[in-house]
Amino acid sequence: MIGLLPKSWSPLSRRRLASFRRNRRGFCSLWLFLLMLLVTLPAEFIANDKPLLVHFRGRWYVPALRAYPETAFGGDFETEADYQDSLFMDDIIKAGGGRVLWAPLPWSYDTVDAGSDEPAPARPGARHWLGTDDQGRDVLARVIYGFRLSVLFGFALTAVSAVVGVLMGLWQGYSGGWVDLLVQRFMELWGSMPTLYMLIIMSSFVTPTALSLLGLLLLFSWMGLVYVVRAETLRTRNLEYVRAARALGLSGPRIALRHVLPNAMVATLTFLPFNLAASLTTLTSLDFLGLGLPPGSPSLGEMLQQGKANLHAPWLGLTAFLVLAVTFTLVVFIGEAVRDAFDPRRGLGRAEATR
């Protein structure tokens, strides 16, 4: 799509980028957010109860990514090797001349710490830096995996609903007439459906996976951008250069994509960060209610719920709250900076008063 990734930036885009850069708060928030995402993306390599690398009898194994049976290490059973079993590790691997590289954090999001002295939920200490939750799972590991899952889920939800919404808005605005009317009525009907009840009903049929949850939320979230894009399309449709393109003989869809879409994208881009925040909120609140991701998934909302249920273990609620607060704050700062960068009036107010 030409409007999204131009081969060479137009001066207008360059000025917007410069304006975004000037907003220190938003710019730093963007870098911080990306840093957090980058750090948590390889979560399997940061917090895992399986080793990252094993060098055994001259061959390399990556247990963090693949499941190897015990027999691969000279064990007796065909089941997956249990790297937590210290006997197994000492006898078979170390005795057999193997070297093991562990992740910095030896817990995954679903590792129940059987060897801990304290009862779950355990306080933050040397063993578990942020403590454990009420099932004995390490909180920091859950935070890392949970942040990644929430943000990626939010990205996916925002991106796909943006694409669907923009295309629908374009089609609706450009066609006008009956198409416009029918789609509007359809959206009114569809938008008044109670999402929460649909989720409850669905979760009684089938245990939801992350993908099915994404699908269900997508069914209703695409409508957010349609109105804005439709309005922009209706406005741009009458601009002179659209008329000129029609006079040149360009077909309708071609004009819509090449001339109308870039203008609509301006409004869309300013909404996207806030849509991302909204998607994260949706996911978190669903998890809080227990209607979101399947139980056992690392989820910040679920940690909030645990925090509510375990007030004597304040580290649960506080951790979840802080992570969520920081994430939302960063996203909102980024969103504000993007919105101000796209604001056409801001560039002119730089002069001092005539006095």
Partner 1 sequence: MAGQPGDTTVPLLDIRDLSVDFAQDGRLTHAVKGASLQVMAGETVGLVGESGSGKSVTALSVLQLLRGTARHAGGQVLLRGRHGEGSLDLVSAPESLLQRIRGGRIAMVFQEPMTSLNPLHTVEKQIGETLRLHRGMTGGAVRTRVLDLLERVGLRDAASRLQAYPHELSGGQRQRVMIAMALANEPELLIADEPTTALDVTVQAQILQLVRRLQAELGMAMLWITHDLEIIRQLAARVYVMEQGEVVENGPCTRIFSAPRHPYTVRLLSATPEPRLPRSLEAAEEVVRVEAVQVHFPIRKGLFRRVVGRVRAVDGISFRVRRGETVGLVGESGSGKSTVANALLRLIPRSAALLAGRVLYGGTDVTGYDQGQMRPLRRQAQVVFQDPYGSLSPRLSVGAIVGEGLQVHHRDLPAAEREAMVVAALRTVELDPETRHRYPHEFSGGQRQRIALARALVLKPRFLVLDEPTSALDRTVQKDVLKLLLDLQGRERLAYLLISHDLRVIRALCDHVLVMQAGKVVEEGPAEQVFGTPREPYTKALMAAAFEMKAVTDGTVRV
The Cα–Cα gap between 56 and 72 comes to 9
Cα 307 to Cα 119, 134, 191, 313, 323, distances in angstroms: 16, 9, 33, 7, 13
If one asks whether residue 3 binds partner 1 (CB under 8 A), the answer comes out as yes
Q: What is the DSSP track for 146-165?
A: HHHHHHHHHHHHHHHHHHHH
Q: CB under 8 A: which stretch of 9-17, 152-160, 204-212, 326-334 binds partner 1?
A: 9-17
What six digits make up the tokens of 124? 């933050």
DSSP assignment string, 109-144:
TT-B-TT-SSPSSPPS-SSSTT-B-TTSBBHHHHHH
Please tell me the distance from the alpha carbon of residue 257 to that of residue 246, in angstroms, as a whole number: 13
Shortest approach of partner 1 to residue 124 CB, angstroms?
50
Q: Which one, 66 or 355, has the nearer CB to partner 1? A: 355
Among 154, 208, 262, 273, binds partner 1 (CB under 8 A): 262
Q: Decide: is 250 part of the binding site for partner 1 (CB under 8 A).
A: yes
Q: Which is nearer to partner 1, 12 or 309 (CB)?
A: 12
Interface segment toward partner 1; rule CB under 8 A; list 10-18, 154-162, 198-206, 319-327: 10-18
**Measured distance CA(299)–CA(147) in Å, rounded:** 8
Tokens representing residue 246 in the block = 């029609």
Does residue 24 bind partner 1 (CB under 8 A)? no
Of 123, 254, 308, 346, the one binding partner 1 by CB under 8 A: 254
Q: Is 348 a residue that touches partner 1 (CB under 8 A)? A: yes
Structure tokens given for 341:
């960068």
Q: Choose, by CB under 8 A, the member of 195, 246, 257, 332 that binds partner 1.
A: 246
> How many residues sit in the footprint of partner 1 (CB under 8 A)?
33
Under rule CB under 8 A, residue 76 binds partner 1: no
- Contact at 8 Å (CB) between 225 and 261? no
Residue 182 touches partner 1, criterion: CB under 8 A: no
Q: Which stretch binds partner 1 (CB under 8 A): 73-81, 93-101, 251-259, 268-276?
A: 251-259
Residue 89, token pair as written in the block: 């590790």
Nearest approach in angstroms of CB 12 to partner 1 is: 6
- Out of 248, 311, 312, 344, name the contact with partner 1 by CB under 8 A: 248
